[in-house]
Amino acid sequence: MRLEALIFDLDETIMPDNPSAEGAAVAAAEIAAERHGIDAEALAASLFKSAQKVWRASDFGAHAKALGASSWEALWGNFSYPDPRLEPLARWLPEYRLEAWSGALADHGIEDAALALELADAFRRERRTRHLVYPEALPTLDDLARDYRLALLTNGSPDVQNEKIDGAQLRGRFDPIVISGEVGAGKPEPAAFRHILALMGLEPEQSAMIGDSFRRDIVGAAELGMFTIWLNRFRSTLPADVPDDLPEADATIYDLGQIRAVLPE
């Protein structure tokens, strides 16, 4: 059966989400650095540790994780999609951000709730100015679009992911675009993959999934019979706790420019 469509993951596949968040955190932390003489990069590192700690201790982490929403995205996104399971989380976000930044400041001997609120607002502004894409992403998409349908399947809250997609001017490059928060299921759940395939009117064998997460992008797609391409940018090994009976990727690449070379003829 001929391969008709290429389905892409977004974060760390097309867009480097972590560097964008880190850059925004450092920029916000410069406010505290100027006033208290602390190191902005160290404060930024403390922020992500503090945010993860608060996130994991909450009652909301499990569902958010299932949809692929992360603690650092909650530092700037609104999670405003009308999903009753997300509404309590959305109401909690201001408190979460205050706790996360307060904890980061406390690591450096500073107790100042007003400053924590100021940093939280600064981070949200800074993060919204950073919608980067990997250098090879756009030329690769332009090339592949000549021969294949391109689609996007991403985990996360719709408002956050849509803001990234629009900020990076990616919307017109994919059809359809599916976000887990809209579906109620995130990768690697079969429902997420089946949903986008149904929208495209394709069988699994007619599509390929390209993504950086072996667990989320590769395993779920492979179990349905999709062709899978693992983007292993940093040439990392699989975690030791990955079961031996998990399906393997059909191909492994190290940047998006290698996709065409590994596609089946």
Burial of 60 (0-12, 13-18, 19+ CB in 10 A): buried
Domain boundaries, the chain: 5-16+132-262, 17-127
Closest CA to 189 of 198, 180, 199: 180
* Distance spanning both ends of the chain, measured CA to CA: 11
* pLDDT at site 67: 62
* pLDDT at site 249: 93
Structure confidence at residue 121 as a pLDDT band (50, 70, 90): very high
Rounded CA separation 71/83 (Å): 18
Q: What CATH number does domain 5-16+132-262 carry, 1.10.3720.10, 3.40.50.1000, 3.40.1410.10, 3.30.420.40?
A: 3.40.50.1000
Q: Which residue bears the tokens 């250098």?
A: 135
Q: What is the pLDDT of residues 219-250, one digit of tens each?
A: 999 999 999 999 999 988 776 666 666 788 99
Buried b (16+ CB within 10 A) or exposed e, 135-150: eebbebbeebeeebbb
Ranges 107-121, 188-202, 229-243: which has the least confidence: 229-243
- For the CA atoms of 54, 55, 60, 63, the dihedral, rounded to the nearest 10 degrees, stands at -160
Rounded CA separation 98/124 (Å): 12
Rounded CA separation 144/131 (Å): 22
* pLDDT at site 79: 80
Rounded CA separation 183/196 (Å): 10
Structure confidence at residue 100 as a pLDDT band (50, 70, 90): very high
Question: Does the pLDDT value for residue 64 go beyond 70?
Answer: no
Name the strand (E) or helix (H) holding 121: helix 113-127
Spatial neighbors of 243 by CB under 8 A, at least 6 apart, are none
The predicted model gives 156-170 an average pLDDT of: 93
Rounded CA separation 62/78 (Å): 18
**Tokens matching residue 247:** 């399906």
Amino acid identity of residue 150, one-letter, is L
Q: What is the pLDDT of residues 204-218, one digit of tens each?
A: 999 999 999 998 999
Q: Which residue bears the tokens 């107790």?
A: 111
Structure confidence at residue 88 as a pLDDT band (50, 70, 90): confident
Q: What is the pLDDT of residues 2-56, one digit of tens each?
A: 999 999 999 999 999 889 999 999 999 999 999 999 999 999 999 999 999 999 8
* pLDDT at site 66: 61
Structure confidence at residue 1 as a pLDDT band (50, 70, 90): confident
* pLDDT at site 172: 96
Buried b (16+ CB within 10 A) or exposed e, 89-125: bbebbeebbbbbbbbbbeebebebeebbebbbebbbe
Tell me: cis bond preceding 176? Omega within 30 of 0 counts. yes
**Tokens matching residue 190:** 């079969």
166 or 237, higher pLDDT: 166
116 or 88, higher pLDDT: 116
Mean pLDDT of the chain: 92
